[in-house]
Structure 1
């Protein structure tokens, strides 16, 4: 299902390739109709941003949201396990799920990074895809609500996934996650204190550099000779 490849790309670090593919992504969503018409329509502002905004501004916005706000981290286990030992076991189980499904993780992100999970889900039958998203649905719904509060166009992508999984923001598990105060991405001292522990790594080195959108877009509509990104993530 290309829909989940498309959503994986939309939630990845912005690149020249992603900007060029925004129109194709929109067409894919409309053609497959995996998401509801309302969910697809709600994604239009994000697609427009990717098309019209300067790449540097897109990357800066992405970093402020997802890299400098722990409560908006796209590493899903961060929200339920933090740095506890349980997270390690959950990572190993997820890696085994990927391998059993024929996917070997070669990206620089962790296995629980939402775009990677979505790339895997795109290879599974639709009901299995739904079950996998249900497992993470309360986290995804909480992320969607946090992004709504920040008036971010990314909220539509998370809300679409939560709707597909059948998880509502009013659910008890979602409200429990939302009870944690939002990070202030501009409070660098507080953020340093939160992130001072080294992140657990599984597989490829997550500090190996700026993660590209990998081959997600290439599988949908290859773009030749991509230009270098304007910003490097750290």
Structure 2
């Protein structure tokens, strides 16, 4: 069931295009099979999607995830910011995917939360990546919840699939929240996935 949740979460955290909107009946069927801690938050978000015009939903997505670094959907950003260390972290993601036979589309960074969730749905290694970046996921979840974002319940569902937070995790999250990510600006283009076919 966790794999089903990750697949649905992956889709709901992607850009709300016509393809995604057309999948709503199938997504609702999948959500109905999930236990309440995973499924109820996703149902809340799907209800929001049904009640919102496609144009408004798309504009809200862009305003949330593309224009505000606090809500960055890129998991390595919370720890490394736009630094060379983030570049190496992206390379590790890339190599992990390659080892599992997954190739991403050109221009798609491998640490986008939707990509990681999709990978987790098909490979046990994906759970490891999610757990390793739990602090970033939690910061994103808390930020969205504080902003009353409609996407916050989706992150609540993601959190419910992972191990309970421990003391050290909470300290890490508090430290990242207080300090923010490093700010050394570097280009990330070399770490984009090459064109080798769709995933």
TM-score by length of 2: 0.84
Give, in whole Å, the separation in 2 of the partners of 1:135 and 1:40: 23
Give, in whole Å, the separation in 2 of the partners of 1:13 and 1:180: 29
Structure 2 SS opposite 1:103: coil
What does residue 140 of structure 2 align with? 143
Residue from 131, 152, 164 that aligns with 1:134 = 131
Whether 1:162 aligns to 2:159 is yes
CA shift at 1:49, angstroms? 1.9
**Where does 1:66-215 land on structure 2 (aligned, <5 Å)?**
66-125=65-124, 128-168=125-165, 171-179=170-178, 197=185, 199-201=187-189, 202-204=191-193
What does residue 231 of structure 1 align with? none
Aligned residues: 190
CA shift at 1:180, angstroms? 5.1
| Structure 2: gaps of 5 or more residues | none
Cα distance change of structure 1 residues 97 and 89 upon mapping to structure 2, 3 Å threshold? same
Q: What are the Cα deviations for residues 88-143 of structure 1, in whole angstroms up to 9, with x where unaligned? A: 11111110100111101115321111111111111114xx4433321111111111
Indicate if the aligned counterparts of 2:41 and 2:156 stay in contact, CA closer than 8 A. no
CA shift at 1:169, angstroms? 9.4
| Structure 1: gaps of 5 or more residues | 182-194, 206-213, 216-234
CA shift at 1:81, angstroms? 0.7
Please state which structure has a larger fraction of its residues in helix.
Answer: 2
- After TM superposition, the runs of 4+ consecutive aligned structure 1 residues lying more than 4 A away are none
